[in-house]
Amino acid sequence: MAQRLDGKALAQEIQLALAQQVKTLTAKTGRPPGLAVIMVGDDPASATYVRNKHRACDRIGIASYGKHLPASTPQTELLNYIQQLNQDDRVDGILLQLPLPQDLDAVTLLNSIAPDKDVDGLHPINMGRLLRGEPGLRSCTPAGVMHLLQTYDVPIAGRHAVVLGRSILVGKPMALMLLAANATVTIAHSSTRDLVAVTRQADILVTAVGRPHLITAGMVNPGTTVIDVGINRVEHPNGKGKLVGDVDFAAVEPLVQAITPVPGGIGPMTVAMLLQNTVLSYCKRFHIDG
């Protein structure tokens, strides 16, 4: 049976350590780190994630700012609000919760966040730094995957990592982070031919597609570490919703080296990395070693 990589437990450990660090830092500087989360519209899943982010901030002593705005909010109003937050000295991190309502231009809005407050790591400057192997704020989900792999001593250097999905939020930065850790990286996507042949070669398989049961027993090998980034809500026969990843967990778990569950895997690590990025950004602004 595979080793379960417990993201929930690791995220709790990280938050505990951050709480201690934030306490010391706040006593030193006289103000806590600040995070502004902007949510636009009423997507119920996003509302849950944003609420969880505020709660996590409260738990570890980060001050929460930000707003919940109606879906009808004009682009210019949002741009002005982001500018205000860019200039607000209490705010070290700004995050625009995705997805946005269709009428808004997410790229322009994300690009208007000051790069040194971009705790989501999605600004072209931070993406460029990742591409060039320079220090900078890293996207939270792939950073969480790397942290989990490193904590569980999963070998990366020289191994074949297959990343399924090519989004800006996960797939592309994930591939770059694995490459920076000296993996041989393949990015597979909807046009990849013979996907099974590709995934079967993976020492590390990261799937971030958003399709339940995409990864089946025939797509892995006994040495594979499977990282499931998918978060899909499916109907359970009892009528209640259930959260599943991209992997057919019951079928794949007995066949592989290690695997992350959903829930309890990469989701909680994403929030832990967001808090860590906020503290990093704060330390940088105060010229303190983080």
Ligand X SMILES: Nc1nc2c(c(=O)[nH]1)N[C@@H](CN(C=O)c1ccc(C(=O)N[C@@H](CCC(=O)O)C(=O)O)cc1)CN2
DSSP E strand boundaries for 97-245: 160-164, 184-188, 204-207, 225-228, 232-235, 241-244
If you count them, how many residues does the chain have?
290
Q: Look at residue 34 and give its three-state secondary structure.
A: strand
Verify whether residue 120 is a known catalytic residue: yes
Q: Is 275 in the site for ligand X (CB under 6 A)?
A: no
Verify whether residue 117 is a known catalytic residue: no
Shortest distance in whole angstroms from residue 150 CB to ligand X: 19
Backbone φ, ψ for residue 287 (5° rounding): 55, 40
113 is in an annotated binding site: no
Shortest distance in whole angstroms from residue 33 CB to ligand X: 18
Place of tokens 């210019």: 76
Q: Are 143 and 149 in contact (CB under 8 A)?
A: no
166 is in an annotated binding site: yes
Q: Is 96 in the site for ligand X (CB under 6 A)?
A: yes
Compute the distance between CA of residue 15 and CA of residue 110 in angstroms, rounded to an integer.
26
Of 208-247, which residues contact ligand X (CB under 6 A)? 231, 243
Q: Are 117 and 105 in contact (CB under 8 A)?
A: no
Q: Is 142 in the site for ligand X (CB under 6 A)?
A: no
Q: By C-beta, is 4 or 160 nearer to ligand X? A: 4
Residue 10's CB: how many other CB atoms inside 10 A? Answer: 19
Compute the distance between CA of residue 73 and CA of residue 60 in angstroms, rounded to an integer.
31
Q: By C-beta, is 187 or 271 nearer to ligand X? A: 271
Verify whether residue 194 is a known catalytic residue: no
Compute the distance between CA of residue 246 and CA of residue 206 in angstroms, rounded to an integer.
10
- Choosing from 120, 203, 228, 246, the catalytic residue is 120
Q: Is 140 in the site for ligand X (CB under 6 A)?
A: yes
Contact string 38-57 vs ligand X (x = CB under 6 A):
----------xx--------
Q: Is 63 in the site for ligand X (CB under 6 A)?
A: no
Write out the binding residues for NADP(+). 165-167, 231
Question: Mind telling me the catalytic residues?
Answer: 53, 97, 120
